[in-house]
Amino acid sequence: MPVSLLWAVDVYGRVYSLSTAGQQWEQCRNSQMEFKRVTAAQTCCWGIACDNSVYLNVHASDLPIRYQEDTYENQRWNPVDGFSDRLLPSDRWQWSDSSGLQHQPLNGFQLPSSTWEWEGDWHVDENLEGEPTEKEGWTYAMDFPAAYTKDKKWNSCVRRRRWLRYRRYKAMDTWAKIPSQQTTLPDPFSDISCGGWEISEEPGGRLSLWAVSLQGKVWFREGISHHNPEGSSWVEVPLPGEVVQISCGPGDLVWAVLWEGQLLVREGISRDNSKGTSWAVVESPNPEVGAIHVAVGMNVVWAVTKDNKVWFRRGVNSHNPCGSGWISMVGEMAMINVGLNDQVWAIGCEDRVVYFRQGITSSELSGKTWKAINVPRDGDRSHSSASASSLHSAGCFFSGEVRAPSVASDAELDIEHPPGDGAIISSAVLEEEVVPGEGEVNVLSSDAITCTQSGGPPDPQWSNVDLEEAQIQHVQTGAVPDSADSCSLSSVATYTLALEDQYGADEHPLWAWVSGGGCSVDSHSQLNWFNSMLQSVQSMSLSVSPAQTAAWRKQIFEQLTERSKREMDNFRHYEQAIEQSVWVKKGAMQWWRDWKPHKWIDVHFALEQFSGADGNKDGILFIYYNYHEEKKYLHAFINEVTILVPVLNHSKHTFAIYTPERTKQRWPIRLAAATELEMYDWLALLSVSCCDSRGIQGPPSKQAIWSITCKGDIFVSEPSSALEATPYPTPCDQMFWRQVGGHLRLVDCNSLGIVWGIGYDHTAWVYSGGYGGGFFQGLASSTDNIYTQTDTKSVYIYENQRWNPVTGYTTRGLPTDRYMWSDASGLHECTKTGTKPPSPHWTWVSDWAIDYSVSGGTDREGWQYAADFPASYHGFKTMKDFVRRRRWARKCKLSTTGPWQEIPPIQLSDVTILPCSAQSSVDVVPLWAISNKGDVLCRMGVTLLTPAGTSWLHVGTDQPFKSISIGAASQVWGVARDGSAFYRGSVSPSAGDCWYHIPSPAKQKLKQVSVGRTSVYTVDENGNLWYRQGVTPSYPQGSSWEHISNNVRKVSVGPLDQVWIIADKVQGSHSLSCGTVCHRLGVQPMDPKGQSWDYGIGGGWDHITIRGNSMEPSRICLSSMTDPSPQAPRSPLPVRSTESSSALNLTM
Amino acid sequence: MLSVLFMTAGSCAFFRVHLCAGGPCSLCPTGKSNSSTMADDKDVLRDVWFGRIPTCFTLNPDEVTEREAEAYYLLLPRVSYLPVVTDKVKKHFLKVMRAEDVEEMWFEYEGTPLKWHYPIGVLFDFHASNTVLPWTITVHFKNFPDEDLLHCSSNSVVEAHFMSSIKEADALKHKSQVINDMQKKDHKQLWMGLQNDKFDQFWAMNRKLMEYPTEDGGFRYIPFRIYQTLSDRPFIQKLFRPVSPEGHAHTLGDLLKEMYPDALTNDGEQKRYQVLIHGIEPLLETPLQWLSEHLSHPDNFLHICVVPVPTD
């Protein structure tokens, strides 16, 4: 789990953060002032400072926040001037937006605030829907508005071109003030809460920000998104009463507390309406004592009443945001906060300690116990100066403190609440530190002074003073405070720290506010927050010298080797005391029988293992079955098994065994075990046997070929030098694949052994050097380098409806129609309740929700319309549409183990590593990636020792990308989302300078690109494989696309220009398989396109990378491999020369 | 329902079965080509399992024989027990003896009867660690030393002893929870694995005995036995936790300091004792939990021999 931060404010107004991996509170140094509230999201933190302004702290990221401004320059042709800016009076502006309605001169663009800066100057966009335009970027049309083309025709009377400029948000990791709207915000904010990032599928950055003003009004910040982190404006939300505090969860929950102690629940919050529609009132947990504080998460609501009692709201969810009842919880808290995963933090009302609620799981949302977070703060002594300066700067501090008055000195102000009442109250009160002798001492300071011990330096005294009062004092607007007003808000309480030593607070920080909205922990997280100082030091020292490098460990390894030498080396001719014997393991299984009608039949299964003549273990598999009352068996030699594939679903625990023969047939031996455990026992055992028989042990080699199935399972194969031999390579179906733990969507590697993967949830992972994990326990798995890996994906089902003239669209279809709830094909019924996660390893983590991100678009309710099933759907209703459907998505999560370590925080959709030869000594390996937002990124600091690299460098593009590949000589090719290709010259050592736009093959949108030594291959969205013709050192962009094959899903081109694909629809003798690994035969330097395909393992393969295999074919002995670092910087492809020599070798 | 069967090599009648004829083949502990680049803790397990002591069995000259008995040479697995691996020895010497002269076989090294219920490696480390190899063991068929040795009528006695050790160890490690959760066939698999020298088979089951909750940081107590030369007691065995109350990991040194401080060398002192586990001397700062997981014998005990430093 990536490191994330818990934020807190102490009673002095200083902001601290605590890392989930850390053991001390780090002070937020760059804040110039004190804060009273903070509310955190994962990407940023909002706060209210003591100047009552709202501040935003956007966490620095390798991925910059940049916004593309564009405007159009319009021209019309006239016989005199040709094309000129003299337009007709009826025409659009000379500079306008795309529609022509908005006047947009270049100099009219202003930076929205001082936190933005321009990235460069305006430039012309020379790209029209994936097609490069002429140099000037003009696009032509007959008239405005019309369809524009890149070619000028005889009737082109108008033309326009698009200008682009980027602005970048620069205020990273600092508190930037949100400009206030003086006219509409008469009173300052007292509370703030952000959340709502889960309600739309929009990736990171969009959030809802709610604020409460001192007068009890609620405001909503409009327009916060990734590209606009500050939002655009405050909108007041009408209220039935006066609110003191508000809380917004990550989803659609928003609760607020009224002055009177009841709670408000916002209803109608949805994807289309993040502000919601109306308020519902929920009574306080205790009718006698009003609520004072509320905190909401995804599915939980916690509240604190004025007597500091903690309450948990039962039955809260999206459909019932009000919940059903209160449960009283243990503990007395001043405030409470719900963070990610519904985890809860609170601040104790007496001790001011931050507590973490332990044991909160999705099934036990109320958790088990409060545990104090007990870690030191950084720079213990340094804060004395901070404290001093704070005295100087403002003299006022904030807290959500609710206290009974310890000194009844406020009677004259506290009109509404008789002093005896005791419950004084507000979270909007602020504590004011009063320093005798300070110029700005207000009326109340006299009260405070009375309790100041005389003599010595002034001890800080704390009093709760209402902010209105303080405001007036500070601003000095009114000569006399409006007593009625202040009375309505008045709540004065003094809180004496009662500390002998002002700095004694160091021993025990006093916290005022905590926010876990950016803190990603769950009940399984290993946190070091609760240890005492002593232990933390010890565990730190342990981590400094990990067991792997310890001297004791080395000593044991060395001595054991020495012992073997001493005791065994000279006595190898002695007889062994124990005879080798055959070991048979038997079990009952079911087998998907080979003959028709195919069905599962009960069989006996046996594995016999023995030691082969060469000392390697070998074995035979037997399947004993009955055929027409006759006992028969089927067998397979372990050393012929090429792969074991687990096929787990809810009804059966099955796995498939392939041999070369079975691969040709496309018909594996399919077996089902009685239980999942039994299946994995067998798989682990068979896997060990297969590896033993082939003498394979330990982690995959650097040359290994990696592949991934559609289930996310990861397989590796060790290539031999014969694999790429010509003319007789090892047939693909003889390759042996073994599984590696983990769950990925794609993987890339190079021959230095650097391997990166990307999960279904776009998380980036780097290979740790281990093997095993997953169900490989014990011996089949390395002990080190195995980590927990999680992945999430969505399961989709479709709701189908048919229109009839009487009732409109209904759930009653025609008898011939598909199920009203079905999968995408319509062939299988999939109901909301009946649909299960893909396998028992997955668990649901969300509820069913309408999915609006369907290609073709949807209407506001998510429906797509069509004339009939099955057809192409569109997102609006026409007269001819008689059916409609909408997609529902539900997220599920998998937790497994494997040799993978997470690389937070940026989510990726593609990654590519420079292929290089095993011998080459590359210091820093170029690694490029695409973020899931489409940004092109270059990883810095990737070396053999630090395969994870250090940071990302953002590489600007004018549009989002979806695929990237880096080939020899560090040439980078990419595919943009519009389906066109881009080429970028040598990117090593710098990141290159510009993109060359390369049009896609006619009428095709490219999907994926892979670049090898000299070959460039792409796959388009219709499954065509294209080879780039005419790529030469002097013209590395090439000249045209040549069609190679169809039915291709993915391509991987290796360091020797070897070409491997995942192909659809490969016909075997018994069956057809989709998603099949195929190898291009006959690829030679003079014939890089190859001749034909050889078919390997298949049936559900999704991804392959052969970019680690730089093993030259066995016959050929090259003196030097391709050196990926270009010797001649002028020539992007210096490899051609070496390659021609290899061509000679080949033909010899 | 799974079951595990054993057959001897000869009884397997299936085709394409190439079995080694019991010769000195497949002594390939790790199967890896380069043993110097050991990196994985798994390799320790294999090295421990496949440890062999070259042994020369000679017949006690007092035994009555029909003709002269030749010495018999064998590689004994360190982790096994004498009765389990000496069938061949017995067969060899019985050839030269008359049946009426044969009583229960027992072994002796330099006058000391060898306790069959100690693992072979322990016997070697304790009695003979600094002798010249092969280890010469004298075989007796008479005058069974009842005061020194337990009788061992068959391998089932060894099995019972082995299983009771494992159970005792698991009682210390997991309050017997793991061993009790296992089925009878699982217990059998542990024993059969040891008896037939099947590393994979044994460890497939034994790894469950080596697990512990991560938050505990180790077993409840470490099952260990310290053998010392100068003592009446056969060995030291007490309760000792892998983690101190303050939360730091106990080391081999911590254990010895508490159990047998004399074994440690004080500053400025000549080293007097060797602390041997499986014939090697781990550093005293080696964490005890790691040792228990990796250098325990199949009976799940960490057998530690403290022997005097050889004088020569």
Interface confidence, given as ipTM, is 0.86
Asked if A560 lies within 8 A of B246 by C-beta distance, the reply is no
One-character DSSP codes across A443-466? TTHHHHHHTSPSSSSPPPEEEEEE
The 10s digit of each residue's pLDDT in B266-308 is 777 888 888 999 999 999 989 999 999 999 999 999 999 998 8
Question: CATH number, domain at A596?
Answer: 2.30.29.30
Q: Is A350 on the interface with B (CB under 8 A)?
A: no
Question: CATH number, domain at A1074?
Answer: 2.120.10.30
**Are A217 and A328 part of one and the same domain?**
yes
Average pLDDT, chain A: 80
Asked if A575 lies within 8 A of B295 by C-beta distance, the reply is no
The single-letter code of the amino acid at A729 is P
CA–CA distance, A245 with A296 (Å, rounded to integer):
12
The 10s digit of each residue's pLDDT in B70-117 is 889 999 999 999 998 888 888 888 888 888 888 889 999 988 899 999
Does the domain spanning B52-140 belong to CATH 3.10.20.620? Answer: yes
A1113 in any annotated domain: no
Six token digits for residue A308: 């500091």
- Closest approach of chain A CAs to the CA of B272, in angstroms? 20
A125 in any annotated domain: yes
**Are A343 and A197 part of one and the same domain?**
yes
Nearest to B54 among A531, A551, A567 (CB): A567
Question: What residue ranges of chain B are covered by domains with CATH 1.10.246.190?
Answer: 155-210
Contact between A610 and A580 under an 8 Å Cβ cutoff? The reply is yes
Whole-number pLDDT of residue A184: 57
**Are A1095 and A956 part of one and the same domain?**
yes
Whole-number pLDDT of residue A143: 84
Report residue A747: phi and psi, to 5°: -150, 145
Q: Tell me what percent of the residues of chain A surpass a pLDDT of 70.
A: 81
Asked if B19 lies within 8 A of A611 by C-beta distance, the reply is yes
Q: Is B201 on the interface with A (CB under 8 A)?
A: yes
CA–CA distance, B135 with B74 (Å, rounded to integer):
10
A495 in any annotated domain: no
**Domains: count for chain A:** 5
In chain B, which among 221-280 make CB contacts under 8 A with chain A? 246-249, 278-280
Collect all residues with Cβ–Cβ distance below 8 Å to A378 and sequence separation of at least 6.
A24, A25, A26, A27
**Are A890 and A1011 part of one and the same domain?**
no
Asked if B48 lies within 8 A of A560 by C-beta distance, the reply is yes
**Are A879 and A1009 part of one and the same domain?**
no
CA–CA distance, A1036 with A1104 (Å, rounded to integer):
26
**Are A243 and A162 part of one and the same domain?**
no
Q: What DSSP state is assigned to residue A110?
A: -
N- to C-terminal Cα separation, chain A: 55
Alpha-carbon torsion angle A1026, A1031, A1035, A1041, nearest 10 = -20
Helices (H), ranges, A649-704: 660-665, 676-693
Asked if B54 lies within 8 A of A571 by C-beta distance, the reply is yes
Collect all residues with Cβ–Cβ distance below 8 Å to A862 and sequence separation of at least 6.
A850, A851, A852, A854, A886, A887
Whole-number pLDDT of residue A418: 39
In chain B, which among 135-194 make CB contacts under 8 A with chain A? none
Q: What CATH topology corresponds to B155-210?
A: Serum Albumin; Chain A, Domain 1 (1.10.246)
Collect all residues with Cβ–Cβ distance below 8 Å to A856 and sequence separation of at least 6.
A864, A872, A873, A874, A875
Distances (CA, A) of A368 to A20, A354, A516, A589: 20, 16, 18, 43
Among A247-256, A366-375, A514-523, A1065-1074, the least confident range: A1065-1074
Question: What residue ranges of chain B are covered by domains with CATH 3.10.20.620?
Answer: 52-140
CA–CA distance, B289 with A798 (Å, rounded to integer):
54
Last residue of a domain, one of A895, A916, A947: A895
Whole-number pLDDT of residue A743: 94
Whole-number pLDDT of residue A369: 87
In this prediction, residue A1140 has a pLDDT band, given cuts at 50, 70 and 90, of very low
Among A483-497, A936-950, B242-256, the least confident range: A483-497
**Are A134 and A40 part of one and the same domain?**
no
Q: Which residue in this structure is represented by tokens 């000299």?
A: A1014
Cβ contacts of B52 on chain A, cutoff 8 Å: 567-568, 571, 576
A722 in any annotated domain: yes
Last residue of a domain, one of A846, A867, A895: A895
- Closest approach of chain A CAs to the CA of B56, in angstroms? 10
Asked whether the predicted pLDDT for residue A160 surpasses 80, the reply is yes
The 10s digit of each residue's pLDDT in A525-583 is 777 787 544 333 333 333 334 555 678 888 888 899 899 888 888 888 888 877 766 77
Range of the domain at A744: 705-786+899-1105
**Are A999 and A982 part of one and the same domain?**
yes
Residue to mutate among B7, B20, B44, B130, with most A CBs inside 10 A, is: B20
Whole-number pLDDT of residue A974: 95
Asked if A568 lies within 8 A of B73 by C-beta distance, the reply is no
Mean pLDDT, to the nearest integer, of A461-488?
Answer: 37
**Are A1010 and A906 part of one and the same domain?**
yes
CA–CA distance, B189 with A584 (Å, rounded to integer):
12
The residue that leads in pLDDT, B213 or A1011, is A1011
Cβ contacts of A575 on chain B, cutoff 8 Å: 22-24, 73-75, 88
Nearest to B283 among A551, A579, A784 (CB): A551
A682 in any annotated domain: yes
Asked if A551 lies within 8 A of B195 by C-beta distance, the reply is no
Last residue of a domain, one of A121, A141, A169: A169
Whole-number pLDDT of residue A3: 81
Contact between A1030 and A1052 under an 8 Å Cβ cutoff? The reply is no
Six token digits for residue B242: 């892998």
Asked whether the predicted pLDDT for residue A524 surpasses 80, the reply is no
A414 in any annotated domain: no
Mean pLDDT, to the nearest integer, of A746-759?
Answer: 94
Whole-number pLDDT of residue A442: 39
In this prediction, residue A402 has a pLDDT band, given cuts at 50, 70 and 90, of very low
Whole-number pLDDT of residue A727: 77
**Are A981 and A1064 part of one and the same domain?**
yes
CA–CA distance, A219 with A234 (Å, rounded to integer):
6
Search chain A and give the residue with CA nearest B295.
A556
Whole-number pLDDT of residue A1144: 24
The 10s digit of each residue's pLDDT in A299-318 is 899 999 999 999 999 888 88
Asked if A615 lies within 8 A of B54 by C-beta distance, the reply is no
Specify the pairing of strand A582-592 against strand A1048-1053. unpaired
Nearest to B279 among A567, A613, A782 (CB): A567
Q: What DSSP state is assigned to residue A762?
A: -
Among A394-403, A966-975, B83-92, the least confident range: A394-403
A522 in any annotated domain: no
Alpha-carbon torsion angle B120, B124, B127, B130, nearest 10 = 180
Whole-number pLDDT of residue A1126: 38
Mean pLDDT, to the nearest integer, of A758-768?
Answer: 94
Among A413-417, A649-653, A732-736, B124-128, the least confident range: A413-417
The 10s digit of each residue's pLDDT in A249-300 is 998 899 999 999 999 999 999 888 889 999 999 999 988 899 999 999 988 9
Residue to mutate among A576, A583, A609, A677, with most B CBs inside 10 A, is: A576
In chain A, which among 753-782 make CB contacts under 8 A with chain B? 777-779, 782
**Are A782 and A852 part of one and the same domain?**
no
Asked whether the predicted pLDDT for residue A413 surpasses 60, the reply is no
Alpha-carbon torsion angle A986, A990, A991, A994, nearest 10 = -70
Nearest to B283 among A555, A576, A585 (CB): A555
Whole-number pLDDT of residue A1027: 95
Whole-number pLDDT of residue A767: 95
**Are A627 and A721 part of one and the same domain?**
no
Nearest to A579 among B9, B44, B246 (CB): B9
Dihedral (CA of A871, A876, A881, A883) sign: positive
